Amino acid sequence: MFIRKNRPWQSREADVTPKGLYLNRRSIIASGGALALTGLAGCEAQSGGSSTAQAPAATGTRPTSGALDYRATDYTVADPQTPYPAVTGYNNFYEFGIGKDEPARYAGAMTTDPWSIEVEGHAGRTGRFALEDVVDFTNLEERIYRLRCVEAWSMVVPWVGVPLSRVLASFEPTSDARYIQFETHLDRDEMRGTRYRVLDWPYVEGLRMDEAMNELAFLAVGLYGEVLPNQNGAPVRLVVPWKYGYKSIKSISRIRFVSEQPDTSWNLSAPHEYGFYSNVNPNRAHPRWSQSSERVIGGNVFARRDTEMFNGYSEQVAHMYAGMDLIENH
């Protein structure tokens, strides 16, 4: 179905695209006070552990490599899927470095088995759950979604996973749970990028409860029909296709049901540039570049397309923001 050897796309991109054409966030690191490269912060590393609690609707087993069983769905787009070498070779996962090629080179060091998720806050079922007790690997589906990075590039990725709403409901959130915060695993030894304070680790993200329960919000455990590669956020990551890519937090190890709008990593680091909502919006330029179009990764180096409101998912999500000023609430 796809060719992995030689990484044809990767070499083409690296060799041909002039450096100055990249839109990225490295300039923040050079200029941002909060982002000084001051080394280790002394946080205690977390580690996976055994399950002590059992969530409903999961079978307790999961494959850790190779093909997954899943079914197709109607969630797809007209544009071609981004080739596998690009999806798995051009990544943002700052815990492994800020270069696009660094996650593929270094994320293999991350231990993903065993994996557990700590569930906290306003929910009936809290505690530490093994991943295989949170996600039912016998009931996976494929969703082909657009991914739009705030850096003005995009991909189309065939994810495999489960609706986020199903997983969240299994924890029986109470009426005080108005937002959800997600946290990425943090292991200072295995995640070499975390020795630099480019962000305040661990990486955190969040959604309003209705956003989290929206039909499009997805928890991915695979792509292209196989177990998620580490660089794409193994063993479980969020996919929120109508928001900029940084909302789709990788390698989730903690879920908090909270009543107030939670901290999110990019908002903490540069609030003027990255808001809590981060809905894809071609009408709101990033302070340092336009968001009206995007570079299509994986094909012709110069291929571009117009960016769509909510990344093309208005029909499913626009109602959640009725009456809101989406420039102010960016």
Ligand X SMILES: Nc1nc2c(c(=O)[nH]1)N[C@H]1C(S)=C(S)[C@@H](COP(=O)(O)O)O[C@H]1N2
Which positions lie near ligand X, rule CB under 6 A? Answer: 91-95, 147, 149, 184, 203, 232-233, 245-246, 248-251
Indicate the residue among 179 and 246 with the shorter CB distance to Mo ion: 246
Residue 95 binding partner per list Mo ion, ligand X, none, with a CB distance cut-off of 5 to 8 Å that depends on partner kind = ligand X
Q: Is 30 exposed, middle or buried (0-12, 13-18, 19+ CB in 10 A)?
A: exposed
Residue 24 binding partner per list ligand X, Mo ion, none, with a CB distance cut-off of 5 to 8 Å that depends on partner kind = none
Place of tokens 């798995």: 88
Residue 91 binding partner per list ligand X, Mo ion, none, with a CB distance cut-off of 5 to 8 Å that depends on partner kind = ligand X
Indicate the residue among 156 and 162 with the shorter CB distance to ligand X: 156
Residues 6+ apart with CB under 8 A from 316: 214, 215, 216, 242
Which of 32-48 are b and which e, b meaning 16 or more Cβ less than 10 Å from the residue's Cβ? eeebeeeeeeeeeebeb
Indicate the residue among 123 and 204 with the shorter CB distance to ligand X: 204
Task: Give the nearest distance from C-beta 5 to Mo ion in angstroms.
Answer: 27
How wide is the angle at C-alpha 116 spanned by C-alphas 112 and 121, nearest 5°?
Answer: 140
Indicate the residue among 45 and 324 with the shorter CB distance to ligand X: 45
Task: Give the nearest distance from C-beta 183 to ligand X in angstroms.
Answer: 9
Task: Give the nearest distance from C-beta 153 to Mo ion in angstroms.
Answer: 8
Number of H helices, E strands in the chain: 8, 12
Task: Give the nearest distance from C-beta 231 to ligand X in angstroms.
Answer: 6
Which chain residues interact with Mo ion by CB under 5 A?
Answer: 92, 149, 245-246
Indicate the residue among 32 and 57 with the shorter CB distance to ligand X: 32
Indicate the residue among 92 and 154 with the shorter CB distance to Mo ion: 92
Task: Give the nearest distance from C-beta 44 to ligand X in angstroms.
Answer: 18
Cβ atoms of residues 200 and 269 within 8 Å:
yes
Cβ atoms of residues 126 and 119 within 8 Å:
yes
Task: Give the nearest distance from C-beta 71 to ligand X in angstroms.
Answer: 22
Q: Are strands 218-223 and 226-227 parallel, antiparallel or unpaired?
A: antiparallel
Q: Supply the DSSP symbol for 94.
A: G
Residue 267 binding partner per list Mo ion, ligand X, none, with a CB distance cut-off of 5 to 8 Å that depends on partner kind = none
Residue 5 burial (CB count, 10 A): 6
